[in-house]
Amino acid sequence: MKQLFVTYVEDSYQLTTAGYAALIILMILSLIIAATIIHHDTKKKRFDTKQMIFCAVSMALAMVTSMIKLYSFPFGGSVTLFSMFFICFIGYLYGPKAGLMTGISYGILQLIINPYILFPMQVVVDYVLAFGALGLSGFFWKSKNGLIKGYIAGILGRYFFAVLSGWLFFGEYAWNGWAPLPYSLVYNGCYIFTEGLITLLLLAKVAPVKNGLAYVRKLSVTES
């Protein structure tokens, strides 16, 4: 059964056509379930068409900018053109539920487009949990300076799961003399925190960017 969905190539598994189809179906089902849950949440505003459009656009921007790599590390991970920000931004706009679901959907999309599969749990940690954690930004959506706080929370969440994955599944790649956990802490910190620092400087210091994002937020919550 496993060979139907994945095939072994060199040192990892890659998805077959059936595997890609299954992932696409899973992503569509996830989005339907998310929309249904949010629609029936009577305590919060309905997840309307405008919100879904903003989420879809942000995911598209995150995917495109993730392909613009300022630096790529040899065993995975790269400093991209602010790709993590676009997922965190949805949490800032609409709260944790929308942020987490957008992050999980984006992780599944990353798995479809650029899969690296060793074990089932590695896939869950690397793609679903790590990218989903970017949606932790949503817990600060009503806070003062919530965009900065939320972004920090989101990248720390991704860092946690990236470190966990490196420790559990990629320890054999540790540098000579390094134990798996310290190696994973440093290795994953290099690309996540480098991109995070660049993004935070842009958000905090460049006035046109701050003003533009404030306008987008105002637009995102304006009634149609």
Residue 8 main-chain phi, psi, to 5 deg: -85, 125
Asked which of 18-27, 53-62, 71-80 is least confident by mean pLDDT, the reply is 18-27
Give the span between the Cα atoms of 158 and 5, in whole angstroms.
27
pLDDT band at 42 (very low <50, low <70, confident <90, very high): very low
Reduced to 3 states, what is the DSSP secondary structure of residue 60?
helix
Q: What is the pLDDT of residue 2?
A: 46
Write down all domains in the chain, each with its CATH number in brackets.
2-221 (1.10.1760.20)
How large a percentage of the chain has pLDDT more than 90? 66
- Determine which helix (DSSP H) or strand (DSSP E) holds 14, and give its type and residue range: strand 12-15
Dihedral (C-alpha) 172, 134, 38, 141: value to the nearest 10 degrees?
160
Q: What pTM was computed for the model?
A: 0.81
Give the span between the Cα atoms of 130 and 123, in whole angstroms.
10
Give the span between the Cα atoms of 68 and 117, in whole angstroms.
22
The whole-chain average pLDDT of the chain stands at 85
Give the span between the Cα atoms of 100 and 107, in whole angstroms.
10
Mean pLDDT of 149-161: 98
